[in-house]
Chains A and B, each alone.
Chain A
Amino acid sequence: MAALVAVPDLGREMVGGLVAEWYRPDGAVVEPGEVICRLECEFVSVDIEAEQAGILRHRKPAGSIERKGAVLGVIVARGEPLPAEQDLRSAEGPAEENAEDRESDHPVVAGREPPGEGGRAGGTEAVTWPRAQPGPQSPGGTVVRFPRPAEADVRAEPLPEPGGAIPGLPLWEEDEQLAAADPHTGASGGPSAGPEQPAYSAGIAPEVAVQAEVLSAHVCVSWARAQEATEALADEWQPEGPRPRVEDLVLRAIARALAESGLEPGPAGLVIVEQDADRSFAVEAPLDDEFRRAVLARTGGLTPFERARWVVVSLLPLGVERVEPRLAGGRLAFGLGAGRDGSGTITMRYDSTMFGEGDTGRVLARVRSLVENPYRLLG
């Protein structure tokens, strides 16, 4: 039975909260009582726990600001389909609902329709807010039971599976098919191939590979300051310097965050998808002491793309808000998307054997902090 992860009601004065960090990535297996997400509301940080075991699916990205009751994610059993979006929305209650008018602190499944919303499909249970006396806020607000899987089966439009590509953009599909056809490609010939490994690990590696899952996590960012810094740099470096792009800053931010988390970033690949063409670059040392040299390395095209051990795919020129790059034999890729209002997302797709619990959240939080304050990256 699915359970919702929702923004708890922290009190009368609370308007909303920032989804500050997903400690567990999209698709992760969670245990009851495990902290899965942090919500921030002014000077208060609230750790939200899983109330049942299952697979966590994110619905709202880190960095988004959500109102009370908003459903941030769902915990489902393995193989269980996701609840329909319509039910998730009705669980959240009407958008303009006032805290004082709210009928209860937490939604529960009831056999009736939510107030003010009629005409639902027959036979489905409605998630609604029953009348209750005002009182203490209940942690039960974070998770509620959800309709039975059998009923959820007939509903359309589950949340996208982790790894689902942006429609119309089959990035690297060929590579992935190749990798699927030859299970050893990824381990031996792919960009992640490392130095020769000792014998004992030879047996472990395939076992780990079988257990490995491709997971995804994303964070909201504001591109405005990165853009501003890029333009300032371009002015400063003219006419003799290379022309920096926002993607250069992001590449450096990610490399810095990976290095800080103890991973050797290594050569990076950058794919910039524009209206008429895809362009790919590689940067041997994205953490080069001098930022200008790193940008020159990209524009100079001296490093072959095949050397890249991790890749950033940018759809910033297209105005696509979220990008789920595919892992084609590699183990780590980032997608950059931008909405219309200067905000966007950085999505991280990675092999589950690469990062421990909470690491991805920390990496992404650090990347966001660096992208939004890019002057720390210059040097």
Chain B
Amino acid sequence: MTTDSAEPERGIAVYHLGTTSYGEVHRLQQRLQAARRAGSGVDTLLLTEHRPVLTLGRSRPVPSLRVPEEVVRQYGIDIVSTERGGDITYHGPGQLVAYGIIALRGWGLGVTEYVAGLEETVIGVLADWGLRGERSVRGRGVWIEGRKIASLGLNVRGWVTMHGIALNVDPDLGHFDLINPCGMSDIEMTTMASEVGRQISMDEVAEAFVFHFGRVFECRAKLQPIPGRENPRPAR
């Protein structure tokens, strides 16, 4: 890394957690947000893939399912209530989830600008694979020709964010059939792999996400080693 004077001063610690259960990362986010609100800690970006889970937003605490709840349980998929905005969504392997725990005041950002920045980051990542992502009047997130590829939901407390954006790299889209994603019954989900027509490496997408996050928010996004694990992946 250079010591170029043009290097942005604002920094964010990035942790690529690999495959995780939703609960452990949820608790980690809560701890990080509490610390950040208390004025300690640093701004953090967590990247992960979850084991299959359905999460509920605050706007509808009752799951908007297309199948009976027992069927969902039979798949071994938990339904977890969260403090984020928005409706039900699915997380699972093959989906890159990015959670930013950021004190927005320090970044001079409004919440809507941060949300737009997350969408811009994903649009940048998609462009790296020759895909044209866009925003839609149908709702927040990133869309490709009317199909939804990335969903977002945030919680803000004391001007510190948590939760974030989930990009479908190559998840099992069949699991989305269990729910009405974002509460909408007529929504079609898509993935990067199906749009590109070939397999896509999750690590490369994560790397691209960190790069574009740094570009969009003009910050130094620095990949940190996970305590207890050696050899962090090099940042791009």
Contact = CB atoms under 8 A, between A and B. Distances in A.
Given A40-B58, A369-B61, A136 B109 contact: yes
B85 A42 contact: yes
A365 B81 CA distance: 14
B129 interface: no
A10 B156 CA distance: 10
B86 A43 contact: yes
A137 B115 CA distance: 14
A26 interface: no
B111 A10 contact: yes
Interface string B52-87: 000001111110000000000000000000011110
Interface stretch (B5-13, B147-155, B218-226): B147-155
Given A40-B85, A365-B61, A369-B61, A45 B111 contact: no
Contacts, number: 103
Contacts of A21: 58
Interface stretch (B100-108, B169-177, B196-204, B207-215): B100-108
A102 interface: no
A20 B58 contact: yes
Contacts of A11: 109-114
Contacts of B178: none
B148 to A, nearest CB: 12
B26 interface: no
Contacts of A135: 108
Contacts of A40: 58-59, 85
Contact of B85 (A9, A12, A44, A136): A44
Given A14-B110, A137-B110, A138-B105, A44 B156 contact: yes
A233 interface: no
| Secondary structure of the B contact surface, majority rule | mixed
A45 B113 CA distance: 15
B85 A45 contact: yes
| Secondary structure of the A contact surface, majority rule | mixed
B167 to A, nearest CB: 15
A366 B156 CA distance: 23
A42 B58 contact: no
B139 to A, nearest CB: 8
Interface in A72-86: none
Contacts of B86: 42-43, 45
B51 interface: no
Contacts of A9: 110
Given A43-B57, A139-B105, A35 B110 contact: no
Interface string A19-56: 01100000000000001001011111111010000000
Closest 7 CB pairs of A and B: A11-B110, A11-B112, A45-B85, A13-B112, A10-B111, A43-B86, A47-B157
Given A44-B154, A137-B159, 4 more contacts: A42-B86, A43-B86, A136-B107, A138-B105
12 contacts: A10-B156, A42-B86, A42-B139, A43-B139, A44-B112, A44-B155, A44-B156, A45-B58, A45-B154, A49-B158, A137-B104, A365-B61
